Amino acid sequence: MTPEELEHEISQALAGKSADPALTWLASEFRTEPPARLRRRITRMVWLRRWSAAQWAAAVLGVVLFWHGLSSIALGPWIAQNIGEPYAPHATLEGGLAAMAIGTVAIACLLRREWLPVTLLAAVPLGLAYGVHGIGEVTVFAWGAVFHLTEGIAAIAVLYFWWRTSRYRRRGTRKD
């Protein structure tokens, strides 16, 4: 029997359509459906553990950075007028695109947990720098201060949750 024929026979047996009645009986007799309550519990636990708190915090930081870049591009003249600085379209466009790119990297860590270090290296320093910069903007331009301080808080949250759940931090404390 070739592997393809064996695969076909297994599929037929699991579907209850096998030519061999003993094989059909074996395939159907020992399969049980889990209770609905157990299935719901398992689904809920898988959903809750799908993303870590550090990944959620990184995604929030990414969304805020992306929105910051987009608003810099779209509202550059208005922002320059409100902070009392000259508008530089070239620098605003490049800075906005860079913030959007780094925000996208931070959001992407929701796809794979292994990408979180990229967020730590790219988005967290930018978020911290924006947060520190936002302290001085509190009395100058409230909307800018809200953006910058939110980025700083989100960056601190990413660092905190990463530190709390990092397997690298606990490397020396494991007892084998």
Q: How far apart are the first and last CA of the chain?
A: 47
* Residue range 43-93, pLDDT digits in tens: 777 665 677 888 889 999 999 999 999 999 999 999 888 888 899 999 999
* Residue range 83-142, pLDDT digits in tens: 888 999 999 999 999 999 999 999 998 888 788 888 889 999 999 999 998 888 888 888
pTM of the model: 0.66
The answer to whether residue 168 scores a pLDDT higher than 60 is no
Cα–Cα distances (Å) from 59 to 2, 65, 112, in that order, read 49, 10, 12
Domain ranges of the chain: 3-47, 52-165
User: Could you give the angle at the alpha carbon of 12 between the alpha carbons of 7 and 14, nearest 5°?
Assistant: 95
